[in-house]
Amino acid sequence: MTPQNPILAAITYLHVFDVQVSVAFYEKLGFQVLNSFTHPSATKPTWAFMQSRGACIMLAKSSGKIDPEQQAAMVYLYCVDVPAKREELVQLGLNPGSIHAPFYAPRGEFRLADPDGYCLMVMHV
């Protein structure tokens, strides 16, 4: 049965230790802040909505430190030229992993950890 009102998009929502630090990281990946919120009791943003073309992400302040060993989420980011994107991230001072070409990504993919240890997989469209 085809739904009459289908889901049109899915957005990754990550709890992060410091929204400002995470925003700066995701800006290096090409995301821009479209909206943010600072709780009245806070001095820094506690939530942000970011977009890079059709890719969206929401970041929200966690109640405590994030344990990278406990991250069960993976975020896949798609680009046209995997080696060029990896080199761009290296030039920006990030530490992407090496490129691998599993069966589902014949033109390659690589891993990148965000400031809270979330696993970002960058692969071709």
Q: What is the pLDDT of residues 23-58, one digit of tens each?
A: 999 999 999 999 999 999 999 999 999 999 999 999
57 domain residue, yes or no: yes
pLDDT score recorded for residue 15: 94
pLDDT-derived band at 69, boundaries 50, 70, 90: confident
87 domain residue, yes or no: yes
- Amino acid at the residue 106: P
Dihedral sign computed on CA atoms, order 103, 6, 2, 14 = positive
pTM of the predicted model over 0.75:
yes
Of 77, 73, 76, 95, whose CA–CA distance to 86 is shortest? 95
Mean pLDDT of 50-68: 92
Residue 68 neighbours by CB under 8 Å, 6+ apart: 113, 116, 117, 118
Q: Which domain holds residue 46?
A: 12-124
Which tokens is 114 given? 């965000």
Any idea what the CATH number is for the domain that residue 97 is in? 3.10.180.10
Q: Percent of the chain scored above 90 by pLDDT?
A: 82
Mean pLDDT of 3-9: 80
Mean pLDDT of 87-116: 96
104 domain residue, yes or no: yes
Could you give the number of structural domains in the chain? 1
6 domain residue, yes or no: no
pLDDT score recorded for residue 67: 85
Give the single-character DSSP code of 65.
-
What's the rounded Cα separation, in Å, for the pair 91 and 73? 26
